[in-house]
Chain A
Amino acid sequence: DVKVTQSSRYLVKRTGEKVFLECVQDMDHENMFWYRQDPGLGLRLIYFSYDVKMKEKGDIPEGYSVSREKKERFSLILESASTNQTSMYLCATSSGAGVKGVIQYFGAGTRLSVL
């Protein structure tokens, strides 16, 4: 089974703080993704990475950055947290290879509250 682990289940931060959300996968998958999940808006892609040190902006990258120094770890960084970044953050991975390469596997999510 693919295991996608997000470092925190719940996080409370203050406006202006720098926030790190970590995601680790154990299946040697090439692709990793960060989404926001908000009621009525579905899942919106923030950033994704298809290789170590490679990244591409998704649909809502403003206010976020990412880091992928190792294949198994993909970090989402909120440079200066704001209240409108209060949300559920989901990490996902996919192998990128073969017929099942596009299937994404998700972490349990990090619920971030910015006060």
Chain B
Amino acid sequence: AQRVTQPEKLLSVFKGAPVELKCNYSYSGSPELFWYVQYSRQRLQLLLRHISRESIKGFTADLNKGETSFHLKKPFAQEEDSAMYYCALSGSGNTGKLIFGQGTTLQVKP
């Protein structure tokens, strides 16, 4: 079964501290992984996708097929990073559906 698991409901760090939001997936084929973010009072939007291999707003995420993980990392958290983060998976050969994790709220304290 296809599944995305984000084990932490809430992650609270101080400004300047490193951040790692965990995401594990279950999928037998070649998945495509995404991170979406929802800032307060804003709509859900794409943050990054693994095939782009980019750093967006200082965030990076590496697909680890051996550990079936796609953790989101940032070396120095900023207060404006406080938001809800969702990891999502798109399986090959589907109709464009995404499977979302439960979401992790990141709280960056001053």
Residues of A within 8 A of B (CB): 4, 30-31, 33, 35, 40-45, 48, 50, 56, 58, 90, 92, 94, 96, 99, 101-109
Contact = CB atoms under 8 A, between A and B. Distances in A.
Interface of B: 6, 9, 32, 34, 43-46, 49, 51, 86, 90, 95-98, 100-103
A109 B43 contact: yes
Nearest to A90: B44
B97 A48 contact: yes
Contacts of B102: 40-42
B96 A96 contact: yes
A107 B9 contact: no
A106 B43 contact: yes
Nearest to B9: A40
A45 B97 contact: yes
B43 A102 contact: no
A106 B44 contact: yes
B103 A42 contact: yes
Interface of chain B: mostly helix, strand, loop or mixed = loop
Given A43-B44, A102-B96, 19 more contacts: A4-B43, A31-B95, A31-B96, A33-B97, A40-B9, A40-B102, A42-B102, A43-B86, A43-B100, A44-B100, A48-B97, A50-B96, A56-B95, A90-B44, A96-B96, A101-B96, A102-B90, A104-B46, A106-B45
A48 B101 contact: no
Contacts of A94: 96
A56 B94 CA distance: 12
Contact of B95 (A50, A105, A108): A50
Nearest to B104: A42
Contacts of A103: 34, 46, 49
A42 to B, nearest CB: 4
Contacts of B43: 4, 106-109
A42 B95 contact: no
